[in-house]
Structure 1
Amino acid sequence: MASPHSAELPSDVALLRDFVNTLDVEKMLDDVPTPEALAGWFRSQELLSPADTVSPEAFTAAIQAREALRAVLLSHNGEPLAPAELRTLERVAAASPLTVGFGSSGVTLRPAAQGGWKALGSLFAAMATAQRDGRWERLKLCPAGDCQSAFYDTSKNRSGRWCSMRICGNRMKTQRFRTGAARQAR
């Protein structure tokens, strides 16, 4: 059986997933620990030109937005969401203005800022597109505390819970079984 996120992802969803996954919780490794590293990541995603930079303020806002986005994606998996996370996203989005563009593919949102704020605007435009196209709720965060990877749920009924049923899902089921067996043994 295919994993709930094995299909080819739309570019907006892949961008958001990859941004959230710049923090590897299991290995405690942050791919973007500095403004320069974040600028490099944004360039690799074609969100910044080689001459663009990420200011310290935009860097701080990006990390805050990433962590708030992680909480939102976890809420897509049934966990409660603190209103503070939404306020953080609103605050960062306000500093990352968007404009409406028109082209052969229709109406799009485009970033209207410069540097790191422009790249952040692209992330918010991707969120709006995913919401509009009905894919936003399928972007989730694995609830396994030692994983917390973002993934796209491609299950028909949108019930995918784990980034990998074979790894995280199996670990959690085994843990629940052991906890239940220990309770019964008492």
Structure 2
Amino acid sequence: MSWMATERFGARTAPGGLAIVQELVNTHGVPRYGADLLAGHATAQQWLRAAAGQWAQDHGLEPPELSLSATDLDALRELRTVVREMLAIPPDERSTGPFHATGALPRAQVRLVSDERGRVAMVPVGTGASWLASAVWSQILLAQHDGAWSHVKLCRGPRCRTAFYDASRNGSAVWHNVRTCGNLANLRASRARRKDANQDPRQSP
């Protein structure tokens, strides 16, 4: 099992179960990395089973048997869009105050379980897209409460926007991979500076 969508980008993976949130966003297609994994039923089914299996493995659970219905593909894409829009908000602008029920939207259901030591956990319920929604929203909830949510970001590259986990001490990382998107941005900036320096002052407006 693996986080197949995130690994192809070479992005830092979020710790624990939070990685499934990042993994969903990273199913998007970027030409130099790969196609959209939710573009068709077969690839989406393969991805979902791998992601659910990795999540279950990380939690010490048996992998769920999941299959996508005819309507699940649209539901997965819609969920990806919603989560991507949440991550597009800069971490320092994301709401951190108390939850307000006014205007609340129903997202998913989970099952609460406890072990012999009284520790409580949330277990996703449902099949196909509903199972994934349950896993994704429960992990977002946990991440918002323990502070990890502010470390999940989208790459600054306008043609990339890959989700990555910022593990830097000051939370200043902006590229999912400095050697790829970071170097490309620096190269473009360097070329722009050289162009400005070589411009004939008489041609300036």
Which interval holds the TM-score relative to the shorter structure? 0.7 to 0.9
Secondary structure in 2 matching 1:96: coil
Relative to structure 1, the CA distance from residue 116 to residue 68 in structure 2 (aligned partners, 3 Å threshold; closer, same or farther) is closer
Unaligned runs of 5+ in 2: 1-10, 57-62, 95-103
Instruction: Indicate the residue corresponding to 2:140 in structure 1.
Output: 127
Unaligned runs of 5+ in 1: 81-89
Secondary structure in 1 matching 2:187: helix
Instruction: Indicate the residue corresponding to 2:77 in structure 1.
Output: 63
Relative to structure 1, the CA distance from residue 97 to residue 143 in structure 2 (aligned partners, 3 Å threshold; closer, same or farther) is same
Distance 1:73 1:61 in 2: 19
Distance 2:160 2:67 in 1: 31
Matches within 5 A, 1:1-186: 6=12, 9-27=14-32, 29-45=35-51, 46=53, 49-50=64-65, 52-76=66-90, 94-103=106-115, 104=117, 106-184=119-197, 185=199, 186=204
Shift of 1:134: 1.3
Q: What does the per-residue CA deviation read over 1:74-127, in whole Å, with 9 as the maximum and x for residues that have no partner?
A: 3236799xxxxxxxxx75xx2532233323472222223333212221111121
User: Which 4+ stretches in 1 moved above 4 angstroms?
Assistant: 77-80
Q: What does the per-residue CA deviation read over 1:112-162, in whole Å, with 9 as the maximum and x for residues that have no partner?
A: 333321222111112112222211110111010222211110000111111
Distance 2:194 2:78 in 1: 40
Q: Would you say the 8 A contact 1:73–1:140 is kept in 2?
A: yes
Q: Greater share of strand residues, 1 or 2?
A: 1
Secondary structure in 2 matching 1:110: strand
The percentage of aligned residue pairs carrying the same residue is 24
TM-score (norm 1): 0.74
Structure with larger Rg: 2
- Higher relative CO (Cα under 8 Å, sequence separation at least 6) belongs to 1
TM-score (norm 2): 0.68
Relative to structure 1, the CA distance from residue 150 to residue 123 in structure 2 (aligned partners, 3 Å threshold; closer, same or farther) is same
Shift of 1:55: 2.2
Task: Give the number of equivalent residue pairs.
Answer: 169
Query: Which amino acid counterpart does residue 25 of structure 1 have in structure 2?
Result: V
Distance 1:13 1:125 in 2: 9
Relative to structure 1, the CA distance from residue 136 to residue 79 in structure 2 (aligned partners, 3 Å threshold; closer, same or farther) is closer
